[in-house]
Structure 1
C-alpha cells in the first residue's frame, strides 16, 4: 500500500513539475486572449494514470502563480484544468479518442470569463471563446493526441498502476 501511494505522489509531482516548466518556457504564448499553452498537452495524461489529476491541477496552479496571473486566473484557470483532467480520466476509459475533449471544453468556457472579468479584456465573450478554443484544440487536441500515441506504446513501463 505504501509503495502505491509513493508512486502516485511521485507521478503527480513529476507531472506538476513538467507542467510548470512548459508553462514557464512557453510563457509568451501561455497567457492572454490568444494563447496556446503547450503544457495543456499534458491533460491527456489522466488517460494513463489518475495521479495526473492532482499533478495537472497543482502544475497549473503553480504555473499561473509563477507566470504572474491574477487571483481569478490562478483559482479558476486551475479549476478549469482540474475539471478537464477529471473528465479526461473518465472519458478515456470509454473511448481514448475523447480524452482531449474535457480540457478543451472546460477551458473554452471558463478561461474567456477570466479574461473578460478578471483581466478586463474588452472583447466579446464568443470571440474570446473562439481564440481560447483554438488554442486548446492545438494544445490538447493536436499536441495532446501526439503525446497520447507516443506514450501509449510505453504505458506499462512509464505508468505503473497507482490505484
Structure 2
C-alpha cells in the first residue's frame, strides 16, 4: 500500500487548487462550447508523476462545480480529465520530447469527445456535435499542445523545478 504523507497530500491539494483557481478566474471562456482553459496545460504534469492525475482530477471537479452546464459537468468533464491523465502517464517515456507532444493530444481527444457530446446532448439549441467537439479540441490544442508543451520544455531545463515535479514519495 502506498504511503500518503502530509507532504504528498499537500502537493496534490496545491495542484488541484491551482487548476481550479486558474479555471474559475477565466470563467467566461473556460466553460461552454468554446473553451479556452489555460489550466489544462497543467495536464502535462501527469507525464512526470502519476500523483498529478489525482491533483488535476480534483481540480477539474471543483472547477466544474461552477460550470454553466450544471452539475453533470463535474462527472463528464472530470471523467475526461481522469481518462486523459491516465493515458498521459501510461504512454509517457522518460526523456522523450516527441512523446510529450504526442501525450498532449490525450486531453484534446478526450475533452472533444466527452465534453463535446455533453454540450450537444444538454444544449437547448440545435448544435452539431462535430462543430462543438472541434471548437473544444481547438481550445485544448492551443492550451495543452502549444502552450503546455512549450512551458514544460522550458521547465525541463531547470533541475530544481523538475525535481519538484517528478518527486516520488
Q: Scaled by the length of structure 1, what TM-score is found?
A: 0.89
SS in 1 for 2:34: coil
Query: CA offset at residue 102 of structure 1?
Result: 1.1
SS in 1 for 2:13: helix
Question: Counterpart in 2 of 1:17?
Answer: 17
Question: Counterpart in 2 of 1:52?
Answer: 52
Per-residue CA deviation, residues 73-98 of structure 1 (Å, 9 max, x unaligned), is 11111110111111111122272222
Query: CA offset at residue 6 of structure 1?
Result: 3.1
Contact 2:92 2:100 in 1 (8 A): yes
Contact 2:31 2:68 in 1 (8 A): no
Question: Counterpart in 1 of 2:168?
Answer: 162
Higher helix share: 1
Contact 1:23 1:37 in 2 (8 A): yes
Unaligned runs of 5+ in 2: none
Within 5 A, what are the aligned runs for 1:107-126? Answer: 107-126=111-130
* Residue 148 (1) aligns with residue 152 (2): yes
Matches of 1:148 and 1:106 in 2, distance apart? 21
1:135 to 136, 139, 145: 139
Within 5 A, what are the aligned runs for 1:8-87? Answer: 8-87=8-87
Q: Which moved more, 1:59-68 or 1:89-98?
A: 89-98
Aligned residues: 162
Task: Report the RMSD for the aligned CA atoms in angstroms.
Answer: 1.9
Unaligned runs of 5+ in 1: none
Q: Scaled by the length of structure 2, what TM-score is found?
A: 0.86
Matches of 1:56 and 1:116 in 2, distance apart? 25
